[in-house]
Amino acid sequence: MQLSKSEEQLMQYLWQLNTAFMKDLLDAYPDPKPATTTVATLLKRMADKGYITYKTYGKSREYYPLIKKKAYFSKHVNTLISNFFNDSASQFASFFTQETNLTKTQLEELRALIDKEIEKK
């Protein structure tokens, strides 16, 4: 189950903070800040989906992620490749390199990363 755009934004703040109380999360938002009840609802949905959990201290809850940012992003990219590029990494790479206006330097850096991965295998 994926995160909604609002949940993903909140998750970004939680990844940055590592652990956070409601006040910390609200402080992370730019103005105008969302209502406390809105953030509480998002946190409950994220916990129900298994992305976060919390420790209770009296009436306060300290939230923390159960999934690392890299793992979430990796799953997201793999789903994108599967759904939009027929499970073809080469179709994805072709689209990515042709449609994103990368500079020559960026393409060379990308090639160096791919060459390094090829050497590992």
pLDDT > 70: what percent of the chain?
A: 100
Q: What proportions of the chain, in percent to the nearest 5, are helix, strand and coil?
A: 65, 10, 25
The residue that leads in pLDDT, 55 or 121, is 55
pTM, full prediction: 0.76
- Asked whether residue 59 falls in the same domain as residue 25, the answer is yes
Assess if residue 80 is contained within a domain. Answer: no
Residue found by looking up tokens 């997201």 in the block = 76
Q: How far apart are CA 107 and CA 100, in angstroms?
A: 11
Residue 81, pLDDT above cutoff 80: yes
What is the structure's pLDDT at 20? 97
**Domain range holding 47?**
5-65
Residue 1, pLDDT above cutoff 80: no
Assess if residue 78 is contained within a domain. Answer: no
Structural domains counted in the chain: 2
CATH number of the domain where residue 54 is located: 1.10.10.10
Assess if residue 57 is contained within a domain. Answer: yes
Q: How far apart are CA 26 and CA 31, in angstroms?
A: 10
**Alpha-carbon Rg of the chain, whole angstroms?**
19
Residue 4, pLDDT above cutoff 90: yes
